[in-house]
């Protein structure tokens, strides 16, 4: 599938160019929390996250068992937290504002677990932002790619496609989420970083591992241990209609090599 074959989901109408922040010394980067509260709280409790000037969350805050609780913890971070729109956030906001109709029982269930304030928050999330970070310069953050929130960037993304998707950015470092894969590579003359997923990672490590990154003055890929049993139990108590699939991903994550192969074949995935 190519860009010509799909509807791109870039900045909202009237959003304008990415807002710029900084300079700052350090940024903690989290992505794809997917409403996994035990994982999210464990990462937020990390001293380096608490000490960071900013906490950038690269989308997909929601689409998991405890979205309202996730929203409340983000609000509690105050102005330090800069959140971006992921494809899951877009879906939840569209259904929650009646711009689209839920296709499955789980979609309806997830959206119903948001307060009106949380839906409004998701609906107003920006598509991208740029932070000037000491040692790295301007860093561009988004969820999928700089041209769509559902385009996958992986460790296997060819340089030609990467050059195309990053052509319009004014930065030497591009930080994306969406693929749930943690990596740091140089491609097409830019540094491509994904902090990995906090709440639903694809990895070969031990279950109960949350992935994130610390930026400034370099790039440090980090992991944090959390109680995966608690996360599964909370999903059961919440009544998640797809709790078995959710728990299976947490306890037996997909192999990254398979995910890269599938992602590079599909390119765009909601």
For the segment 74-133, what is each residue's pLDDT rounded down to a tens digit?
A: 999 999 999 999 999 999 999 999 999 999 999 999 999 999 999 999 999 999 999 999
Token pair listed for 57: 């969350």
- Give the per-residue pLDDT at 1: 46
Tokens 């591009």 sit on residue: 174
CATH superfamily of 24-266: Metallo-dependent phosphatases (3.60.21.10)
How is the chain split into domains, by residue range? 24-266
Instruction: Please say if the pLDDT value at position 3 is more than 70.
Output: no
What percentage of the chain has pLDDT greater than the value 90? 98
CA 51 centroid distance within chain: 21
CA distance 185 to 183: 7
Q: Which of 169, 161, 150 is nearest to 32 (CA)?
A: 150
Q: Over the chain, what is the mean pLDDT?
A: 97
Between CA 182 and CA 195 the distance in angstroms is: 5
Using the CB atoms, write b or e for 105-125: b if 16+ within 10 Å: ebbebbbebbeeebbebbbeb
DSSP 199-230: SS---SS-SSEEEEEEESSSEEEEEEE--HHH
Q: Which residues pair with 82 in a beta bridge?
A: 56
Give CA angle at 122 (265, 97), nearest 5°.
Answer: 100
Interior/surface letters 140-154, b for 16+ CB within 10 angstroms, e for the rest: bbbbbbbbbbbbbbb
Helix (H, G, I), strand (E, B) or coil at 172: coil
For 259, the 3-state DSSP assignment is helix
Contacts of 21 (CB under 8 A, 6+ apart): 54, 82, 129, 130, 131, 132
**pLDDT at residue 58 greater than cutoff 60:** yes
Q: The pTM is what? A: 0.97
Which pLDDT score is estimated for 5?
Answer: 78
């Amino acid at each position: 599938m190519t860009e010509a074959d799909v509807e791109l989901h870039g900045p909202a109408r009237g959003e304008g160019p990415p807002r710029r922040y900084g300079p700052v010394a350090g940024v903690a980067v989290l992505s794809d929390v997917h409403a996994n509260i035990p994982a999210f709280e464990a990462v937020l409790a990390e001293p380096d996250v608490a000490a960071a000037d900013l906490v950038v969350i690269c989308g997909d805050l929601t689409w998991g068992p405890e979205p309202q609780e996730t929203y409340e913890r983000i609000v509690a971070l105050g102005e330090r937290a800069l959140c971006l729109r992921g494809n899951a956030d877009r879906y939840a906001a569209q259904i929650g504002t009646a711009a689209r109709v839920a296709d499955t029982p789980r979609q309806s269930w997830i959206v119903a677990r948001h307060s009106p304030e949380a839906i409004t928050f998701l609906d107003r999330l920006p598509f991208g932002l740029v932070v000037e970070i000491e040692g790295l310069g301007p860093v561009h953050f988004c969820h999928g790619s700089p041209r769509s929130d559902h385009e996958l960037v992986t460790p296997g993304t060819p340089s030609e496609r990467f050059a195309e998707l990053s052509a319009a950015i004014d930065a030497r470092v591009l930080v994306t989420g969406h693929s749930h894969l943690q990596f740091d590579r140089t491609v097409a003359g830019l540094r491509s970083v994904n902090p990995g997923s906090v709440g639903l990672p694809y990895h070969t490590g031990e279950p109960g591992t949350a992935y994130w990154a610390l930026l400034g003055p370099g790039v440090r890929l980090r992991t944090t241990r959390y109680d995966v049993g608690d996360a599964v139990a909370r999903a059961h108590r919440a009544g998640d209609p797809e709790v078995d699939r959710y728990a299976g991903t947490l306890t037996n994550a997909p192999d990254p090599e398979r995910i890269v192969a599938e992602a590079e074949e599909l390119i765009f995935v909601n």
